[in-house]
Amino acid sequence: MIDPVTVRPVAVGICGSDLHVIGMGPSGVTLGHEISAVYEGRLVAIQPMAFCGECAACRRGDQHMCSVGSRRVHGIHIDGGMADELVVDAQCLVPLPEGVSAEAASLVEPIAVGVHAVNKVDPVAGMRIAVIGAGTVGLVVAAVTQDRGVDQIDIVARHEAQFAAAERLGLRPVRADELGSGYDIVIDAAGSESSLAAAIGAVRSAGTVLVPGIYWSDVNLPGLALGLKEVQLRTALYWGHHDGRREVDIAAEVLGRLPGLPDALISHRFELGDAAHAFRTAADRSAGAVKVIVDVSNG
């Protein structure tokens, strides 16, 4: 770290990545990369990766692929936010708009994932967009797309809580068998082989399929459809810089513009002492979990 500072975490969101890390067995790392914290008396969000600024990726503007930072993500590789204190690089501090709560501030990191994904495909008004998967990533990608002025967004949901969240955000939730075709952009936010195949099937010829995340195992592609439709397949990982600005700062601005987003996403709240229950709840989408938040301010 170039400029280490100590922050006091306040709220931490549970992400699907956390559940995968737990599934791999004990890691010795304190979890939590979706973090809001107090620094010098003010509330901030935390970017959980510090960029070195010197490696080849950083020099070409791909800071999110930093050869140093990508191996030192708080809550994944090094200790995260489910603690009384956390030492981060000063560059990880993210200022917030006025009036943003601690719970809402913990959403800056996943919103930044959505910002980075949307910046990869640059949707514009008049496009037809589909999002497959109405978990947190799917919902924030759709919300950021909507914030860019696109109003034709279908989102595939599975559970009632996801339908409710999508409707609160002004999206059009559909079931998988109701998904249309001929979309300009299809975003696979479900991260499975079947969802990727559905995305390729739903996109128009020469359209774009975007994957805003990681497949945790190998997937087979529907090669004939991929080739005959000349599908443009794009991926997006984390968040970095866009047009000279940090995407986490853009995400904080989106949060300020969309005050209804936290209420639509946050489905459950737990104290740190109930963290085990919080993780079990986050893993059970059928029980109504969308975004689970852990309050770590009281230890």
Is the pLDDT confidence value at 257 over 80? yes
Q: Determine the Cα–Cα distance for residues 53 and 61; give it in Å rounded to an integer.
A: 9
pLDDT of residue 24: 76
- Tokens representing 212? 């805003």
Dump pLDDT digits (tens) for 63-120: 999 999 989 999 999 999 999 999 999 999 999 999 999 999 999 999 999 999 999 9
CB atoms within 10 A of CB 188: 30
**By percentage, how much of the chain surpasses pLDDT 70?**
99
**How, if at all, do strands 241-242 and 42-46 pair?**
unpaired
Dump pLDDT digits (tens) for 21-41: 887 777 789 999 999 999 999
Rounded average pLDDT over 251-280 = 95
Q: Determine the Cα–Cα distance for residues 37 and 6; give it in Å rounded to an integer.
A: 10
Q: How confident is the model at residue 216 (pLDDT cuts 50, 70, 90)?
A: confident
Phi, psi angle pair for 96, to nearest 5°: -120, 150
- Tokens representing 132? 């497959």
Is the pLDDT confidence value at 299 over 70? no
Q: How confident is the model at residue 1 (pLDDT cuts 50, 70, 90)?
A: low
Q: How confident is the model at residue 2 (pLDDT cuts 50, 70, 90)?
A: confident
Q: Determine the Cα–Cα distance for residues 170 and 1; give it in Å rounded to an integer.
A: 42
